[in-house]
């Protein structure tokens, strides 16, 4: 893979405050340079429809979004994707595995913002190269047969990847944003809104209701021009529980409270649990316990729990950015290692298989 699309020269935006701009290729230009084949376009469409079917209870499989907290090294990310593609085939009767390909990262203050922003990991912020590299990488993952998921953080960046994605997350810090709700209303794919950082679901339920309606909003068209965007509304949204400042919210009591809140608002009760973040206390070794608890609730009959999310990489833990990075280890939040991830998902698939078999035995 290469990063051959170059940004145009710097130009002064405002001499008074010395702000500068650097023109990027339009999303249309990048899509034309790195197009999808008709077969891959159909694959994405099929994956989106499959996820919709899971949300609507028409497909009884468990939706699992799994992969690195963030992608910083294309080589290790592709190695992970290859392993996941093999596992996805083995568990496909009970689970739909979706590759977590996060190339943008929210920052409370400052820090590395993701592959799309700083692909060289050195603060040079080669965003033209980052967008190209990110699209190339996602396209390679699609060729492995995997559905792709990401968090859309910067709405202007969304159009560079939107044709590649089958599922999108709106993060806890942006779920309240009107701009992100408008963007979600125009996405032709399922969108998961995370609960707020306080752990409450009010912000997310407001977001789901807003995104389900048509909007007209300011935006940028595929050629890079300012535009009025007309959206139709997105009926395929759902809630993602990720815990909050007060602690986890994946337990049976918390889930029941969330179901009640959704029912009062006449919002379909379809819930994904993020096994990381506050639900695991940011300790990757606790993710399997969260996953197992939620799986048990589902095995006991709670069909509102449609999926889970795991932060997982080739090797467990995390590391700070440096000149000597360990291969396959996250540079953002700590991740579960591949071996532990594979063991967890294979065991869960077997449990689901046994339950399905027992339910089909005639009385």
Please give the DSSP secondary-structure letter assigned to residue 164: T
- pTM for this model (two decimals): 0.94
CATH code, domain with 83: 3.20.20.70
Residue 145 lies in a domain: yes
* pLDDT tens-place string over residues 187-198: 999 999 999 999
Q: How many domains does one find in the chain? A: 1
Residue 59 lies in a domain: yes
Residue 64 lies in a domain: yes
Range of the domain at 166: 25-359
Residue 249: CB atoms within 10 A of its CB come to: 22
Residue 17 lies in a domain: no
Residue 327 lies in a domain: yes
Considering Cα of 44, then 154, then 284, then 315, what sign does the dihedral take?
A: positive
* pLDDT tens-place string over residues 83-98: 999 999 999 999 999 9
* pLDDT tens-place string over residues 111-137: 999 999 999 999 999 999 999 999 999
Joined tokens for residue 323: 């000149």
Whether the per-residue pLDDT at 34 is higher than 70: the answer is yes
DSSP three-state, residue 312: strand
Residue 191 lies in a domain: yes
Residue 8 lies in a domain: no
């Amino acid at each position: 893979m290469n990063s051959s699309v170059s940004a145009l020269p710097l130009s002064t935006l405002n001499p008074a405050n010395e702000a500068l701009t650097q023109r990027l290729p339009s999303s249309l230009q990048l899509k034309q340079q790195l197009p999808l084949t008709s077969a891959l376009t159909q694959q994405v469409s099929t994956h989106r429809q499959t996820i919709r079917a899971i949300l609507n209870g028409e497909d009884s499989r468990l939706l699992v979004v799994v992969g690195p907290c963030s992608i910083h090294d294309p080589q290790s990310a592709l190695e992970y994707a290859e392993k996941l593609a093999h596992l996805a085939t083995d568990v496909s009767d009970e689970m739909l595995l979706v590759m977590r390909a996060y190339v943008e990262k929210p920052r409370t203050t400052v820090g590395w913002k993701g592959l799309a922003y700083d692909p060289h990991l050195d603060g040079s912020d080669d965003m033209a190269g980052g967008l190209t590299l990110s699209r190339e990488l996602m396209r390679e993952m699609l060729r492995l047969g995997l559905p792709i998921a990401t968090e859309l953080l910067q709405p202007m960046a969304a159009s560079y990847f939107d044709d590649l994605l089958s599922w999108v997350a709106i993060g806890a810090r942006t779920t309240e944003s009107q701009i992100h709700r408008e963007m979600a209303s125009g996405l032709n794919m399922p969108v998961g809104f995370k609960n707020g950082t306080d752990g409450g679901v009010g912000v997310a339920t407001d977001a789901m209701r807003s995104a389900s309606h048509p909007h007209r909003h300011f935006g940028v068209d595929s050629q890079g021009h300012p535009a009025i965007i007309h959206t139709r509304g997105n009926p395929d949204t759902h809630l993602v529980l990720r815990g909050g400042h007060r602690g986890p919210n994946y337990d049976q009591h918390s889930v029941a409270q969330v179901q009640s809140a959704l029912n009062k608002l006449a919002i379909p009760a379809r819930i994904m649990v993020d096994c990381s973040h506050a639900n695991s206390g940011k300790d990757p070794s606790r993710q399997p316990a969260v996953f197992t608890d939620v799986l048990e609730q589902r095995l006991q009959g709670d069909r509102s729990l449609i999926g889970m999310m795991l932060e997982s990489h080739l090797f467990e833990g995390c590391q700070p950015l440096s000149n000597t990075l360990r291969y396959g280890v996250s540079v953002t939040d700590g991740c579960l290692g591949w071996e532990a991830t594979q063991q967890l998902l294979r065991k869960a698939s077997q449990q689901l298989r046994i339950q399905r078999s027992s339910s089909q035995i005639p009385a």
